[in-house]
Structure 1
Amino acid sequence: MEDLKLLPAQLDALLTGETNTVANLSNASALLMQTLPDLNWAGFYLFDEANNDLVLGPFQGKVACMHITPGNGVVGTSFTQKEVLVVPNVHEFAGHIACDSASNSEIVAPIIVNDKIVAILDIDSPKLDRFSDADAVAITEFAAIVAKHF
């Protein structure tokens, strides 16, 4: 899919010159929602170091869980493992947090700045097994571009 390959470069062009993190994360989540098919949520959880908590940040989609503890759910597991996770069926993921019962698959990626995770990119789909290895590569690159502009 050509859109997927172009996504990181599109994001970099979109964010170049903007220094406001909220604006950048907002446009990044909007770009994902308007570009990738079969999504029902795309956004960020920001790490609050003082409270050891992942807090809901800019997103596109239905209302969401506002706090996720590191180690809990797909987002919290990505945070503690410091890696991209692709979950074909969230209902089979131990400890899955069901913020939206319509979500069936998920991909998450850490946003790493100066060797610290500052946020987690979270993307959900109502389709089972929505995210491929190619998606994981593109989302990893997308997360690196977000980090560059954080």
Structure 2
Amino acid sequence: MKAKLYSDLLRQSQAITEGEPNLIANLANISALLYDTVDDINWLGFYLTDSDNELVLGPFQGKVACARIPFGKGVCGVGAQSQETQCVKNVHEFEGHIACDSASNSEIVAPIVVNGTTVAVLDIDSPSIGRFDNEDAEGFQKIADFCSTLNWSK
């Protein structure tokens, strides 16, 4: 069932971005699509690489969030630095977790990599401990991989 959900979300992401060259418009629409479709999440959005070692808040859905996150810090920073999907069942057990919203209890971070460089991460938070599993991580990473094909030229 989850596989079909993520397959559908990937196709919808492709459809809503087709022909649109503006990166921010595309990321904004993808974040809205995912936030409105995926159950039991309280924040979803993108952090964009702003320098060689820092992420800055990009298009998102949810409450006010941290504006900047250094690579290697928190779940987002670790995902950006390692270029590996992070699936954290309980963020309170993640060493160095950055609590932008105290209501968040589990998180997935899917890195977006272009030509070997992390250009952004897709960050998804849930108020439920254990909300995410490997199927969710794989599904969101496929969407992040699609996002790497968008227009990242500055």
TM-score (norm 2): 0.93
Matched, 1:23 2:41: no
Residue 119 of structure 1: how far off its partner (Å): 0.4
Q: Runs of 5+ in structure 1 lacking a partner?
A: none
Matched, 1:144 2:149: no
Residue 118 of structure 1: how far off its partner (Å): 0.4
Distance 1:17 1:115 in 2: 25
**Cα pair 1:39 1:126 within 8 Å, conserved:** yes
**Cα pair 1:16 1:149 within 8 Å, conserved:** no
Alignment match, 1:103: 104
Residue 122 of structure 1: how far off its partner (Å): 0.3
Distance 2:88 2:123 in 1: 11
Residues 6-17 of structure 1 aligned to structure 2 (within 5 Å): 6-17=8-19
**Cα pair 1:108 1:121 within 8 Å, conserved:** yes
Percentage identity across aligned positions? 54
- Helix, strand or coil at the partner of 2:98: coil
Distance 2:21 2:120 in 1: 16
Matched, 1:119 2:120: yes
Alignment match, 2:41: 39
- Helix, strand or coil at the partner of 1:148: coil
**Cα pair 2:44 2:125 within 8 Å, conserved:** yes
1:4 to 3, 6, 9: 6
Distance 1:70 1:53 in 2: 5
Alignment match, 2:61: 60
- Helix, strand or coil at the partner of 1:117: strand
**Cα pair 1:4 1:36 within 8 Å, conserved:** no
TM-score (norm 1): 0.95
Residue 4 of structure 1: how far off its partner (Å): 2.5
Residues 77-96 of structure 1 aligned to structure 2 (within 5 Å): 77-96=78-97
Q: Runs of 5+ in structure 2 lacking a partner?
A: none
**Cα pair 1:28 1:146 within 8 Å, conserved:** no
Q: Which amino acid aligns with 1:20?
A: N
Aligned residues: 149
**Cα pair 2:81 2:118 within 8 Å, conserved:** no
Distance 2:62 2:88 in 1: 19
- Helix, strand or coil at the partner of 1:94: coil
RMSD of Structure 2 on Structure 1 (CA) = 1.0
